[in-house]
Amino acid sequence: MSGEMEEVVTEFILESKESLDKLDSLFVEFEEKGYDKAIVNEIFRIVHTIKGAAGFLGFKSIVDISHGAENILKKLRDGEIPPTDRLIDVLLKSTDKLRVLINHIETGNSFNEDVGELVKELEDSLKEAQSKGQKMVRSESALEAENQVPIDYEKAVFERRERVQTLRVDVERLNEVMDLTGEAVLIRNRLLNIAGYFERKFADDPYVKGFLEAVSSLNLVTSDMQIAVMKMRMQPISRVFNKFPRLVRDISKSLGKEVELRISGENTEVDKSVIEEIDDPLVHLMRNAIDHGIETPEERRAKGKHEKGIISINAFQRGKQIIIEISDDGRGLDVERIKGKAIEKGIITEDEAQRMSEDLAINLIFTPGFSTVDVSTEFSGRGVGMDVVKTAVSKLNGYIEVFSRKDKGTTFRISIPLTLAIIQAIIVRSMGVQYAIPLSSVEGLLKLGSSDVRKVSGKRMLCVREKTLPLFDLSALLGFGCGEGIQCEYGVVIAVGERRFCISVDELLGLEEIVVKPITGLDVSSSYVVGATITGDGSVVLILDPSGIARGIFG
């Protein structure tokens, strides 16, 4: 295959994947709303475009499936057949198969496969629907869309390229540019440090003045370059959210439950690396919400609830953090049942269970191997899931919280950094060692006085603005001191989700933009350190993980 043809195939794969992701949401919307010709037209356009491009490239299997689906969609669009459950099921089955075929093309496993069985199923479904001889009642939106017609693939590509000037770039090249930008930031920081020294020592030297001006300009250019590269990597979180309507439809249908999915904030943008890592944790949470959270229609009616449960997923930006919340109005978490299962599995003792707060008990669900389900199903009960979610979120320097009320519902809130590569951090010193604390988790800095610190139940507490916060010495937390009698000068107030605590340090060295470098072999799921960086004075500094510290303190 020539280089030019490879480029065309790559373009086809990327565009087809995006189109298929959109199809799942459209089919679910069509099923929920009932017959709507505007939606059918949009589905028809997408399938027609995939078929046209596949035909041009000689992918016969994709053409055959697309053609069979197109025949059904044409009859639906013209109101000649009703949108039965079987038709929707077989159309969704077709999109799944198209996705598999396109993945096979991408990996080079196969270009054409035997799809005769699925094509026959499409034909049989169409014949069955036609035999019913039902005419559709056309909605107002359908009449408005009456004159819409499918468009040719070549025309669609031409019009799209006329409207938007875009260039697809290989991810590896983008990552390389991001790495080089990170190195430029480190050099910029070093030059700023040197420039500060020259300014103090040789302020009147004209060459020094020129050097300072050049470094100042470099600082502005580097900052602008960093922002531009970061924006190149930003993607809407809808790339993840788009799969959930189909997921909710299939799981709720197989469990005999009725579930309405509400999505908001899908245009919130996050770094591409976050998109890739947050996918699986969100799928776990969504499956658990349907399987564990939402009751059956009979159970909900008995509780005085509407028989259709509601699951909401929302994303929004708060400062330098992206917040994702998955909520349901189901049965909530049974704290006593969680404690009982934890005792049964030897995770805690009966005495610990009695003294354990509700918040700590709820967090037992993140223990590896924990499950309250007695019989495993294809969706849950195998003791795998919630611990995977917590580990994945931790790897993103994030934090997960759970809020639940019995028979009212449960909310899982995930907080993750906007980007993982270049962040702002407070540089501190404790017992002669420098550390970086991500600014996104810092709520305040303060000078410590002996009158502000007191002991409550043997633990040091700090009074801040009429609030009492747990106080921990940083070196003691990291295992370099006992923490008793240590008189540190400054305190850093850390906020992780709803948790607040203060860590004491010897010095506050200032705010700096740092490049996060991973440490090979470091287990971030159980460490207080998330990586390392090089500061402006050339020092190698460990970057602390506020989420990890919070987990170590509060459990």
- Starting at the edge strand that comes first in sequence, how are the strands of the sheet with 409-417 ordered? 258-264, 308-318, 321-328, 409-417, 399-405
pLDDT tens per residue, range 158-192: 444 444 456 777 778 888 888 888 888 889 888 99
CATH topology of domain 239-417: Heat Shock Protein 90 (3.30.565)
Q: What is the arithmetic mean of pLDDT over 105-126?
A: 84
| pLDDT score recorded for residue 153 | 43
Q: What is the arithmetic mean of pLDDT over 369-373?
A: 70
| pLDDT score recorded for residue 157 | 44
Q: What is the arithmetic mean of pLDDT over 371-386?
A: 55
Rounded-to-integer distance, Cα 266 and Cα 298, Å: 32
Lowest mean pLDDT, pick from 257-271, 303-317, 397-411, 529-543: 529-543
Q: What is the CATH number of domain 3-163?
A: 1.20.120.160
Lowest mean pLDDT, pick from 33-37, 304-308, 350-354, 372-376: 372-376
Which residues, in sequence order, are CB contacts of 148 under 8 Å at separation 6+?
A: 37, 38, 41
Q: What is the arithmetic mean of pLDDT over 518-540?
A: 72
**Highest-scoring range by mean pLDDT, 124-138, 251-265, 336-350, 467-481:** 251-265
Which residues, in sequence order, are CB contacts of 526 under 8 Å at separation 6+?
A: 548
Which residues, in sequence order, are CB contacts of 54 under 8 Å at separation 6+?
A: 12, 60, 62, 63, 66
Name the residue among 522, 526, 525, 529 with its Cα closest to residue 543: 529
Q: What is the arithmetic mean of pLDDT over 87-108?
A: 89
In this predicted model, which residue has the larger pLDDT, 493 or 277? Answer: 493
pLDDT tens per residue, range 230-271: 888 888 998 889 889 989 999 999 999 999 999 999 999 888
Q: In sequence order, what are the beta bridge partners of 168?
A: none
Which CATH architecture best describes the domain 171-235? Answer: Orthogonal Bundle (1.10)
Name the residue among 369, 380, 376, 299 with its Cα closest to residue 332: 299
3 state DSSP class of 187: helix
State how far the alpha carbon of 11 is from the alpha carbons of 18, 101, 156, 504, 515, in Å.
11, 15, 14, 54, 33
Name the residue among 548, 515, 454, 554 with its Cα closest to residue 180: 515
- List phi, psi (to 5°) of 430: -140, 125
| pLDDT score recorded for residue 23 | 87
Cβ(376)–Cβ(382) under 8 Å? yes
E strand or H helix that includes residue 259: strand 258-264
Query: Residue 313 — pLDDT band, cuts 50, 70, 90?
Result: very high
pLDDT tens per residue, range 391-448: 888 778 788 889 999 899 999 999 887 766 778 899 999 988 999 998 888 988 988 8
**pLDDT beyond 60 at 374:** no
292-315 b/e (C-beta count within 10 Å ≥ 16 → b): bbbbebebbeeeebeeebbbbbbb
Residues in the chain: 555
State how far the alpha carbon of 82 is from the alpha carbons of 33, 78, 478, in Å.
13, 10, 66
What does the angle CA 12 – CA 18 – CA 23 come to, to the nearest 5 degrees? 115
Q: Any idea where the domains of the chain sit in the sequence? A: 3-163, 171-235, 239-417, 422-554
**pLDDT beyond 70 at 492:** yes
Angle between helices 171-201 and 206-233 (to 10 degrees): 160
What does the angle CA 351 – CA 356 – CA 357 come to, to the nearest 5 degrees? 160
3 state DSSP class of 195: helix
Question: Exposure of 284 by Cβ count < 10 A (0-12 exposed, 13-18 middle, 19+ buried)?
Answer: buried
130-156 b/e (C-beta count within 10 Å ≥ 16 → b): eeeeeebeeeeebeebeeeebeebeeb
**pLDDT beyond 80 at 380:** no
How far is it between the farthest Cα atoms of the chain? 94
In this predicted model, which residue has the larger pLDDT, 341 or 554? Answer: 341
| pLDDT score recorded for residue 174 | 83
Lowest mean pLDDT, pick from 67-76, 278-287, 480-489: 480-489
CATH topology of domain 422-554: OB fold (Dihydrolipoamide Acetyltransferase, E2P) (2.40.50)
**pLDDT beyond 60 at 151:** no
Rounded-to-integer distance, Cα 78 and Cα 135, Å: 9
Lowest mean pLDDT, pick from 83-87, 92-96, 314-318, 442-446: 83-87
Name the residue among 1, 19, 115 with its Cα closest to residue 60: 115
Do domains 3-163 and 422-554 share one topology? The answer is: no
**Highest-scoring range by mean pLDDT, 4-18, 323-337, 490-504:** 323-337
pTM score over 0.85: no
**pLDDT beyond 60 at 485:** no
Query: Residue 148 — pLDDT band, cuts 50, 70, 90?
Result: very low
DSSP string, 24-44: HHHHHHHHHH---HHHHHHHH
- In the chain, the percentage of residues whose pLDDT exceeds 70 is 86
| pLDDT score recorded for residue 383 | 42
Which residues are annotated as catalytic?
Answer: 48, 70, 288
Q: What is the arithmetic mean of pLDDT over 35-48?
A: 87
